[in-house]
Chains A and B, each alone.
Chain A
């Protein structure tokens, strides 16, 4: 006698809940989440990369006034920050200690930022070449062997031709690590292909241990935040 009404009641309750919400857990919606207790979820404060109704460009984050130098950000070590020595010439070798840790770091960073275009071996057969047929420089060419380490650092920082500047995403210490890794790629290729011209075409910092010795007095650890 009681069975049927109970069942009917249950079904009605179940259906009404679904009719009200139209969806179970985990289904997608483009509407912003409703917080049942909004408490202080949204406070009138500026968070990183948030929008602003106050500033004319709609952005909360402000650019420093041109010429501003942050504490410790004078970048006096021009060789480290620009790849150019005090005389304005590109430095010949990496101005920080070149060791296995640097190479390892360089490999990792290379994989993130360079490999998409220059490909894992440095032949310039990455995505842009494959998909867009965009010519991408290979590291295994005469021109690149002749570049000094400072020059490669400069191209990485400021771009060259179609290649854009990578100053923003890669801090200088990592850029030097990538230089070390690119030199390593060139060395490996030359060791494997003996027909490649030796002598003049040897990468500048071919001997990592020598350059490490030459720069042993330089501090290896630089603040990553200074760009």
Chain B
């Protein structure tokens, strides 16, 4: 009479035990790695309708962030500039450029450009640029070295955990308000002294309760 279970079935319990350990471990590792906003959101680099280069305009020409994003200090929104702002220079510089045709059309017709938004928070999170700038959080802290980006890329996860990391301990991320738009600012030699001074001059108390950001 033939055996019902061939000899390799002896290894089945061992294989099952191994799979029972490996599969959950892989699943946990996979979720930890791939479901995180560090994976899903960071690195988003959409192609814009006009390939505006921050590297050229900020890095090489030295424009301040606020030349275009003028409302960042007075509003919750750091505005994308109207195309008239582009025309300030481009009415005389590269005025016949093919690439800039959509800008010229927009400026003359009044129809807004359809830029693709890179940094987008969920609609239930109410972020305000004004208070962050006033608290001395630099542009570069959340947006990365925009002055080196040809195409703007999301550098931070913009997740709630990431927000709270700073809200619970803002001091290491603060800088003098005058240096907020400075992309190359580095903390001075004695960070402890600097922090103490910042705290004295303008102490901050960022909210960590739900209603701080979710209304």
CA distance A25 to B18 in the complex (A): 28
Q: Verify if B124 is at the interface (C-beta below 8 Å from A).
A: yes
CB contact under 8 A between A112 and B66, given known A57-B111, A164-B84: yes
> Is residue A78 within 8 Å, beta carbon to beta carbon, of the partner chain?
no
Question: A68 at interface (Cβ–Cβ under 8 A)?
Answer: no
Which of A10, A132, A225: most chain B CB closer than 10 A?
A: A132
A residues 1-37 touching B (CB-CB < 8 Å):
2, 6, 9-10, 13, 17, 21, 24-36
Instruction: Tell whether A214 is near chain B: CB-to-CB under 8 Å.
Output: no
Assess A28 versus B153: contact at CB under 8 Å? Given A57-B111, A134-B93, A168-B70: yes
Complex contacts, B185 vs chain A, CB 8 Å: none
Assuming the contacts A26-B43, A164-B91, asked whether A43 and B64 have C-beta atoms less than 8 A apart, the reply is no
Residue B10 is within 8 A (CB to CB) of chain A in the complex:
no
Closest to A13 in B: B26
Interface residue? B211 (CB, 8 A): no
Give chain B nearest CB distance to A63 CB in angstroms.
Answer: 9
Binding site for B on A (CB under 8 A): 2, 6, 9-10, 13, 17, 21, 24-36, 39-43, 45, 47-49, 51, 57-59, 108, 111-113, 116-117, 127-128, 131-132, 134, 162, 164, 168-171, 224-225
Residues of B at under 8 Å CB distance from A?
A: 14, 18, 22, 26, 30, 33-47, 61-64, 66-67, 70, 74, 76-77, 79-82, 84-85, 87-89, 91-93, 110-112, 114, 122-124, 153-154, 178
